[in-house]
Chain A
């Protein structure tokens, strides 16, 4: 592997020789669990649950709706490390398609807080602008 020429478009994408023996599999344990919004009055996502399912990581989202939370259902997430040499997941992304709208979720952990960025795109004719928002979550 160390003799292989690796392509890159940023210096940070180069694999160091010291870590060249790692298997490339990313462990998701640091992401797993139930994460609750730090803002109890949120009108967005109330909580998310990340679970291991075989070699996959699954996400379930519960959002603020009236009178009961909206259960977005379970989707598979992609997991990402902090750099090319790391095996520990610290970020994930996921996608939901509700028909009238779709949501890309991009998330990372920083100092124990899970930060979720939402990119919402409306596909109906409601006139709502596609919009970006960010919320913060702690693990319970």
Chain B
């Protein structure tokens, strides 16, 4: 008799014997440069795997120099299906004294697609906003 794991949609259904750890981070590693050289958002992102974890380092466009957001550890790594062990997406969070920024990134055909959900926590009356940008791996 086949035993299936609990699921809330059919694509999550898998036999309990189909186990594989999510361990390969090579797709994400490296320096990722915005494909839009006129961006007013994120200029580049540096992703560094460390013992199964992923460190994220974001640089935003500021004047006159880039804004260094600092390093943060990815909250979670994701494969592109439930049986894959290749990490192809991640989430990360930055908390500044004026805003919280949730990053969601996924690898797609050699590009890194990063969506950011920015929630302002100051009294500036800026609208919380979403942005999505595309990044190429440096050297490619």
Chain A contact residues, CB within 8 Å of chain B = 1, 4, 6-13, 15, 20, 22-24, 26, 43-45, 63-66, 70, 72, 78-87, 90-91, 93, 96, 98, 100-101, 103-104, 106, 108, 117, 119-122, 124, 126-134
Contact = CB atoms under 8 A, between A and B. Distances in A.
A87 B106 contact: no
Given A20-B125, A79-B128, A84-B127, A7 B89 contact: no
A128 B82 contact: yes
20 contacts: A9-B99, A11-B40, A11-B61, A11-B63, A64-B9, A65-B9, A79-B128, A84-B127, A91-B130, A100-B6, A103-B8, A117-B106, A120-B12, A122-B82, A126-B14, A127-B20, A128-B83, A130-B22, A130-B76, A131-B80
Contact of B9 (A22, A43, A119): A43
Classify chain B's interface size.
35 or more
**What DSSP secondary structure best describes chain B's contact surface?**
loop
A108 B130 contact: yes
Nearest to A120: B12
A70 B7 CA distance: 9
B82 to A, nearest CB: 4
Given A24-B127, A127-B19, A130-B78, A78 B119 contact: yes
Contacts, number: 196
B67 A9 contact: yes
Interface string B61-95: 11100010100000011111111110011010010
Report the 4 A-B pairs with minimum CB-CB distance, sorted nearest first.
A127-B19, A91-B130, A132-B89, A126-B5
Contacts of B41: 10-12
B118 interface: yes
